[in-house]
């Protein structure tokens, strides 16, 4: 047997590596062998070849793996001293722009489609109403879930924990955290601690002039997701916006005039638009019964997923900008001119924002919390921190309320990782 080479195929992971010692897989799964192997196990061993060291490079160990990863790291937290990366690299954007210019040289100029021409995308209007109602339904359901699922918030920083007692990790970065050695002081959390309220300027005309620095206090600020839905077709009387019935007449890249709409006939009677839900005041919140908690948790999780998936579709049609240095968000084709950026080296930019295309986590930032694997023993151990997973706060609240864990959050929650029962056992883990 020593003169032959072994090619072993295992069906646990999809990693392939050579026979050299420096070529090792990044993550090796646990191989489970049967203590009483049968004949089929030995039939999988294939012996071949001549006794030559050069043939070792041609042999490979192929390991087939499941599609769902076991562990996935959380999104990276960027330092305040570095700029956020672009969703699409600049070189790829320039390359795509050059290709568009080459393809349009021999073709006649086409009119801009909506919403670039000032009109609404009609098929997106029902989706905008559904996203805004999902946001309201999510807030109302979370207010009820907070009556039965305890959530703790730090008194000094923005960190929260889902459970009757806070986690023991010393990660507080609030005021006087050095005197407390990073220890948190936990209090009862409210809805604003769970859902991060990202605000943006409300635009009467989304294609109008950019907001100057002198008018930054006269323009109202509303939740950015609400502003996105308004620009997509939602009508709210408190926040009027301009609706056009004819495409704009483009003069230059940054100048245009509105078409004459005086000759257009009156609008025919249209179908009634969907009704917008209203948020329930805190004084009218009803504590759910014990048999209603699971259904309420599942409904909350569906509203969370519907809000995020719908907002992702709206962002592909209606542009959203974010500052590369601070969390300021602007809904519109170009950002505002307010010089209120106080991030790293804002003096060199005179307080101006570095606008770039936003992603979904900029519009709806998920606040990650530690996942409690055992609800019977909710207190975590700081020595076993490397074995615990994390999930968005809304997902963790729904899971502790009885809802099933969605597939896309299982890798970050590390449900398949065995947690040691003691510190001594954790030191023995390889």
pLDDT digits (tens, 9 = 90+) for 166-214: 999 999 999 989 999 999 999 999 999 999 999 999 999 999 999 999 9
φ and ψ of 13, to 5 deg: -135, 175
Is residue 158 domain-shared with residue 298, that is, in the same domain? yes
Residue 168 · residue 309 · CB < 8 Å:
no
Residue 415 · residue 306 · CB < 8 Å:
no
DSSP-derived secondary structure for 22-82: T---SS-PPP---SS--HHHHHT-EEE--S-GGGGTT--EEE---SS-S--PPPPPPPTTS
Is residue 97 situated within a structural domain?
no
Query: What is the band of 40 on the pLDDT scale with cuts at 50, 70, 90?
Result: very low
Coil/strand/helix, residue 345: coil
Residue 73 has pLDDT above 90, yes or no: no
Is residue 144 situated within a structural domain?
yes
Among 63, 88, 106, residue at a domain's last position: 63
Is residue 37 domain-shared with residue 178, that is, in the same domain? no
Is residue 248 situated within a structural domain?
no
Residues paired with residue 330 on neighbouring β-strands, in sequence order: 321
Residue 268: per-residue pLDDT: 76
Question: Is pTM, for the whole model, over 0.85?
Answer: no
Residue 49 has pLDDT above 80, yes or no: no
Is residue 201 situated within a structural domain?
no
Residue 384 · residue 417 · CB < 8 Å:
no
Is residue 19 domain-shared with residue 157, that is, in the same domain? no
The range of the structural domain enclosing residue 151 comes to 134-194+281-306+371-430
Is residue 294 situated within a structural domain?
yes
Number of structural domains the chain divides into: 2
Where b means 16+ CB within 10 Å and e means fewer, 228-238 reads bbbbbbbeeee
Q: Which residue has the tokens 């050095």?
A: 178
Classify residue 393 by burial, with Cβ atoms within 10 Å: 0-12, 13-18, 19+. buried
Among 63, 91, 108, residue at a domain's last position: 63
Largest CA distance in the chain: 93
Is residue 421 situated within a structural domain?
yes
Is residue 14 domain-shared with residue 155, that is, in the same domain? no
């Amino acid at each position: 047997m020593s003169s032959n080479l072994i090619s072993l195929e295992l069906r646990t992971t999809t990693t392939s590596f050579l026979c050299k010692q420096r070529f090792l897989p990044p993550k090796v799964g646990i191989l489970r062998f049967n203590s009483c192997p049968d004949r089929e196990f030995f039939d999988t061993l294939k012996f071949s070849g001549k006794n030559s060291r050069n043939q070792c490079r041609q042999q490979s160990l192929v390991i087939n793996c499941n599609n769902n990863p076991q562990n996935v790291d959380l999104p990276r937290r960027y330092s305040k001293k570095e700029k956020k990366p672009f969703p699409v690299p600049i070189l790829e954007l320039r390359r795509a722009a050059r290709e568009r210019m080459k393809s349009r040289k021999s073709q006649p100029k086409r009119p801009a489609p909506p919403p670039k021409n000032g009109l609404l995308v009609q098929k997106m209007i029902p989706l905008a109403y559904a996203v805004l109602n999902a946001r309201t339904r999510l807030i109302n359901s979370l207010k009820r879930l907070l009556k039965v699922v305890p959530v703790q918030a730090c008194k000094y920083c923005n960190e929260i924990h889902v459970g009757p007692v806070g986690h023991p990790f010393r990660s507080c970065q609030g005021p006087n955290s050095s005197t407390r050695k990073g220890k948190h002081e936990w209090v009862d959390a409210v809805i604003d601690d769970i859902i991060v309220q990202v605000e943006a300027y409300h635009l009467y005309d989304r294609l109008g002039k950019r907001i100057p620095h002198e008018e930054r206090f006269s323009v109202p600020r509303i939740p950015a997701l609400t502003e996105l839905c308004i620009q997509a077709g939602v009508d709210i009387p408190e926040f009027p916006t301009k609706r056009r019935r004819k495409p704009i007449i483009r003069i230059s890249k940054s100048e245009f005039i509105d078409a004459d709409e005086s000759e257009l006939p009156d609008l025919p009677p249209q179908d009634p638009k969907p009704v917008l839900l209203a948020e329930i005041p805190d004084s009218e919140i009803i504590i759910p019964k014990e048999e209603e908690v699971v259904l309420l948790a599942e409904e909350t999780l569906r509203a969370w997923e519907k809000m995020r998936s719908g907002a992702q579709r709206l962002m592909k049609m209606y542009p959203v900008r974010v500052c590369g240095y601070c969390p300021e968000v602007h809904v519109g084709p170009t950002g505002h001119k307010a010089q209120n950026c106080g991030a790293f080296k804002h003096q060199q930019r005179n307080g101006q924002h570095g606008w770039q295309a936003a992603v979904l986590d900029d519009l709806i930032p998920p606040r990650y919390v530690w996942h409690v694997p055992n609800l019977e023993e909710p207190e975590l151990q700081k020595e076993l921190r490397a074995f615990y997973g994390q999930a968005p706060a809304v997902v963790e609240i729904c899971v502790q309320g009885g809802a099933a864990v969605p597939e896309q959050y299982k890798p970050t929650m590390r449900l398949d990782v065995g947690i040691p029962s003691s510190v001594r056992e954790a030191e023995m883990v390889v």
